[in-house]
Amino acid sequence: MKIKFNIHTKSSDLLLKWFDKQSDIILKEILEQPGTQIMAGIVENTLSQNELPTFFNELKNFSADDSSKSDPYGLKLAWFQRDESSLLLDKIKEYNFSSEITDRIKPYIPTDYPLDVTSNVYFVLTGWEWGDAMACEITKIDNQYKVTEQGESIIIINLSIITKLYGNDIDKLLNDNISNTMSHELFHLVFAEYRKVSSYWKNNRNTTEIEQLVEIIQNEGIAHYLSHNQKQNLIENYNKTNELKEHEKEAFKQLDIAVKQLLNPELSKQEKDNILMKSNAGKYWDKFGGIAGKFMVYHIEKEYGEQAIQQSLSKGAYYFLELYNKLRIEKPILPGLPEELKKQ
Ligand SMILES: [Zn+2]
């Protein structure tokens, strides 16, 4: 597997320039940047469309000290974090995004299809509210970058959220927080590329809400496990105190509630989409899909090795659940999965 990164910072450079001097020429350039267009597309997809102002209008009407207005694109946050972002951007431009990022994910990627991945990484200063980064698919339509179901897989990282969440030690931000965040998103990206060529995934499309939840558990579970030192943390601390076990129990409980809601015919499509979003967005321990999955990966890997997780990528999300169910017969003390998650 070969992985190459292309780093894009232009939309951020221009926004910082615009914060200094709000000229229409710079504004126009900002809106032409792929990073800006992808960021705005993500916000449009996650917020309800009818009340959402365009990013152009937000820039036009921007005022840093107007606290009465909502801030759907996080423009105010970008303003407050602009000095840290500027320092960080300078370092990013000379940083060698090295093997460390790819080494974390390599053991988990199946080798039955050789992958040669070039990953465009967009560093932006505005965007969604939760999570510092995401992987998504984009398509260029009429000279505009759109976020689409199928397209080119990319990574987009919001530096304002990074500096807000993790402080201003630039070296730590790069070598630790951003490096780990990129491993997390790179896993999603490479897995998405693998799914495009794997015959299993081409023939098995998961379309129901329950099936989508099962995919989130596997995909997010592994991504959460292999980034931000979680693997090490679980190995060292899972049995030391009850804290991690409590989080585990809670995530499985929320998962159980979510499964019943997703199967409830009285809930609307909108409500179910919301549940799916919550399974993987919000505060760290509240992302019950990703968190339950992370604990499952830990137990599966401990018992059957990294190889088992890797195999689950080529055999599908239900296979991943089967591994856990099998393991749980031997260790009934672990929380169980809802019955409804067994493939019909
Ligand atoms: Zn993720």
153: CA distance to ligand 1 center in Å?
13
Q: Which helix (H) or strand (E) holds 10?
A: helix 10-20
Return the domain boundaries, the chain.
2-197, 207-341
Q: b/e for 184-223, b at 16 or more Cβ within 10 A?
A: bbbbbbbbbbbbeebeebeeeebeebbbbbbbbbbbbbbb
Max Cα separation, the chain? 66
Q: How far is the CA of 231 from the centre of ligand 1 (A)?
A: 15
pLDDT digits (tens), the chain, 344 positions: 889 999 999 999 999 999 999 999 999 999 999 999 999 999 998 876 667 899 999 999 998 887 777 889 999 999 999 999 999 999 999 999 878 999 999 999 999 998 999 999 999 999 988 789 999 999 999 999 999 999 999 999 999 999 999 998 999 999 999 999 999 999 999 999 999 999 999 998 888 999 999 999 999 999 999 998 899 999 999 999 999 999 999 999 999 999 999 999 999 999 999 999 999 988 899 999 999 999 999 999 999 999 999 999 999 999 999 999 999 999 999 999 999 987 65
How remote is the CA of residue 213 from the centroid of ligand 1, in Å?
13
Give me ligand 1 centre to Cα 222, in Å.
9
Residue 285 CA to ligand 1 center (angstroms) comes to 13
CA 137 to centroid of ligand 1, rounded, Å: 14
Q: How close is the Cα of 29 to the center of ligand 1, in Å?
A: 30
Q: How far is the CA of 181 from the centre of ligand 1 (A)?
A: 9
Query: Ligand 1 center to residue 133 CA distance, Å?
Result: 8
- The rounded Å distance from CA 147 to ligand 1 centre is 16
User: How far, in Å, is the centroid of ligand 1 from the Cα of 110?
Assistant: 19
Dist CA 251 CA 248 (whole Å) = 5
- Give the separation between CA 251 and CA 133, rounded to whole angstroms: 22
pTM over 0.75: yes
Among all chains, which residue has been given the structure tokens 């309800």?
48
Helix axes 209-226, 243-262, angle to 10 degrees: 160
The set of residues, in sequence order, having a beta carbon less than 8 Å from that of 274 and lying 6+ positions away, is: none
C-alpha of residue 132 to centroid of ligand 1, in Å: 10
Distance 188 CA to ligand 1 centre (A): 7
Distance 227 CA to ligand 1 centre (A): 10
Query: What spacing in Å lies between the alpha carbon of 135 and ligand 1's midpoint?
Result: 7
